[in-house]
């Protein structure tokens, strides 16, 4: 039975982080994407007051790829409203190998761009949720490209899945280093780690091969 796709997150924490330091941390995180399959520009920004239940106080869509905003410019615009109880969300493109299936045709692999959400939390936003979520949280979206449970795990599929995982690992390491994070956590909504789910998938495929 196929597992449901799970949302994948990376949380980052910084020691004694001051609110005024958020712009520099965000810039380091967003610019790290470029060398690891991500866009150079930001697609959109949203500023949330108090909690996720409130309506945004600021939102702007710049556009994809060349139409997007330079990270520092987008950060400067969003963080004009710098408050302890606000959250600042930035959307940026990130490309991974994904399997495309067309009825009666062989599966085809292509590099597909997805929107990733990078959110910085003020210390009082949503009752101090940064303690669990991180000072900065990256929402990678569904973890399907790192498992591709609809694909036969042949040499080609395994190669593309491995490339996606390596890209994720390299990006997480670069973000941690470039932004000066002292703690990071890759986690999912279902609670199972990506490594656990991948191990289960590999074990299932090996079992089918016996």
pLDDT tens for each residue of 80-94: 989 999 999 999 999
Q: Taking residues 134-138, what's their average pLDDT?
A: 97
* Ordered DSSP codes for the chain: -PPPP-EEEEEEE-TT--GGGHHHHHHHHHHHTGGGTEEEEEEEEEEEESSTTSPPSEEEE--SGGGSB-HHHHHHHHTTS--TTEEEEEEEEEEEEEEE--TTS--EEEEEEEEEEEEEE-TTTTTTTHHHH-SEEEEEEESGGGT-TTS---HHHHHHHHHHHHHHHHHHHHHHHHHT-SEEEEEETTS--HHHHHHHHHHHHHHHH-
Residue 201, pLDDT score: 65
Q: Comparing 26-30, 66-70, 180-184, which segment has the lowest mean pLDDT?
A: 66-70
Least confident of 86-100, 111-125, 136-150: 136-150
Tell me, what's the pLDDT at 155? Answer: 84
pLDDT band (50, 70, 90) for residue 1: very low
Q: What is the pTM of this model?
A: 0.90
Provide the percentage of residues in the chain whose pLDDT is more than 90.
69
- Residue 192's pLDDT is 66
Q: With 90 as the cut, is the pLDDT of residue 18 above it?
A: yes
């Amino acid at each position: 039975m196929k597992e449901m796709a799970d949302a994948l997150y990376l949380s980052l924490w910084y020691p004694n982080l001051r609110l005024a330091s958020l712009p520099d941390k965000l810039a380091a995180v967003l610019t790290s994407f470029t060398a690891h399959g991500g866009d150079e520009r930001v697609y959109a920004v949203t500023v949330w007051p108090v909690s996720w239940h409130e309506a945004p106080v600021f939102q702007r869509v710049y556009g994809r790829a060349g139409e997007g905003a330079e990270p520092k410019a987008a950060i400067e615009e969003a963080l004009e409203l710098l408050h302890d109880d606000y959250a600042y969300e930035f959307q940026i493109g990130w490309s991974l190998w994904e399997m495309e299936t067309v009825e009666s045709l062989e599966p085809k692999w292509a590099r597909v761009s997805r929107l990733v959400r990078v959110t910085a939390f003020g210390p009082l936003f949503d009752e101090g949720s940064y303690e669990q979520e991180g000072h900065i949280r990256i929402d990678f979206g569904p973890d399907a490209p790192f498992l591709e449970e609809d694909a036969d795990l042949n040499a080609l599929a395994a190669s593309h899945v491995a490339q996606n995982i390596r890209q994720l690992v390299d990006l997480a390491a670069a973000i941690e280093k470039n932004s000066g994070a002292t703690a990071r956590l890759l986690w999912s909504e279902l609670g199972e780690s990506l490594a656990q789910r991948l191990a289960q998938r590999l074990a299932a495929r090996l079992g089918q091969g016996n």
